[in-house]
């Protein structure tokens, strides 16, 4: 499992400012369909998806969003997709990390990765470790990539590491013990989770951290996700009322 070092900034320093989400998540869906619509190989869709990721990170930096976490590859993808496509994705991710060194330096992006990273090919593991090391002191946007990641797998791994079945732990103690063993213990909960591609489900992404996230679904395929789509998601978020279980005296409905 991936763990962060002492250089990870405090969670408290990254709370939402005004109407902007402090932690923005993306389920980057639609690469394959984008390629299919154009009668192109699926790999072309993934390559265009990498360009969309570059675009989104620049937009997030401009908007002074503190953290962005993107779902790149699930544990289910790793088990079920064709070997040729997986090999391409692994190489694409490694290439992306190596090619973006100057951009991450310029934007002061602090890179992190979460998931069962030890199961990835050696070249990708090396690229992840190098990017994390080289950007650990950057003070800009925290960019986190979920690779070979599953929300249930994360909680199962954390449960095994935490001794969460210890009967001496009660209530919040159990929750704290479990949270301390997640892939990135310092990662704050999601404020806004955006899924492209028209599907309306979480697909096992950041289940722990999405407990009170605002959800935004768009039919736009990930390679086509542009500045206007990014702005639309933020504007929708600014209109939401976030009560975290409390009761509002001015609104009805919502959390019980």
- At 23-53, the pLDDT tens digits run 999 999 999 999 999 999 999 999 999 999 9
Mean pLDDT (whole number) for 193-213:
97
Task: Return the pLDDT at 5.
Answer: 39
Q: What percent of the chain has pLDDT over 90?
A: 74
Task: Kindly report, residue by residue over 61-93, the tens digit of the pLDDT.
Answer: 999 999 999 999 999 988 888 999 999 999 999
Distance CA 224, CA 29 (A): 11
Neighbours of 156 (CB within 10 A): 11
Pairing mode of beta strands 67-74, 142-149: parallel
Q: Is the Cβ–Cβ distance between 179 and 185 less than 8 Å?
A: yes
Distance CA 156, CA 178 (A): 10
Distance CA 88, CA 76 (A): 17
Residue 238 predicted with pLDDT over 90 = yes
> Does 143 or 159 have the greater pLDDT score?
143
Q: Choose, from 77, 148, 184, 229, the residue flagged as catalytic.
A: 77
Q: What percent of the chain has pLDDT over 70?
A: 84
> Which residue segments constitute the domains of the chain, with CATH numbers given?
20-238 (3.40.1180.10)
Distance CA 167, CA 196 (A): 42
Residue 229 predicted with pLDDT over 50 = yes
Q: Choose, from 6, 19, 29, 44, the residue flagged as catalytic.
A: 29
Residue 1 predicted with pLDDT over 60 = no
pTM of the entire predicted model:
0.85
pLDDT confidence band for 215 (50 / 70 / 90): very high
77 given a catalytic annotation: yes
Task: Return the pLDDT at 2.
Answer: 40
189 given a catalytic annotation: no
């Amino acid at each position: 499992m991936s763990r962060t070092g002492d250089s990870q900034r405090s969670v408290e320093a990254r709370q939402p400012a005004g109407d902007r989400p402090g932690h923005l998540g993306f389920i980057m869906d639609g690469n394959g369909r984008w390629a299919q619509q154009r009668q192109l190989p699926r790999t072309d869709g993934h390559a265009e998806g990498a360009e969309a990721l570059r675009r989104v990170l620049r937009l997030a930096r401009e908007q002074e969003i503190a953290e962005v976490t993107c779902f790149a590859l699930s544990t289910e993808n790793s088990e079920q997709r064709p070997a040729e496509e997986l090999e391409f994705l692994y190489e694409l991710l490694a290439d992306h990390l190596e090619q973006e060194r100057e951009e991450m330096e310029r934007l002061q992006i602090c890179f992190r990765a979460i998931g069962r990273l030890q199961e990835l090919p050696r070249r990708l593991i090396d690229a992840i470790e190098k990017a994390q090391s080289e950007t650990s002191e950057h003070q800009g946007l925290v960019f986190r990539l979920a690779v070979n990641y599953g929300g249930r797998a994360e909680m199962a791994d954390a449960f095994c590491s935490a001794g969460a079945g210890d009967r001496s732990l009660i209530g919040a103690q159990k929750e704290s013990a479990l949270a301390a063993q997640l892939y990135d213990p310092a990662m704050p909960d999601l404020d806004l989770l955006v899924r492209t591609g028209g599907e309306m489900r979480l697909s096992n992404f950041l289940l722990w951290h999405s407990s009170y996230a605002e959800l935004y679904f768009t039919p736009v395929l990930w390679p086509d996700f542009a500045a206007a789509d990014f702005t639309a998601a933020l504007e929708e978020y600014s209109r939401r009322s976030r009560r975290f279980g409390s009761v509002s005296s001015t609104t009805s409905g919502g959390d019980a």
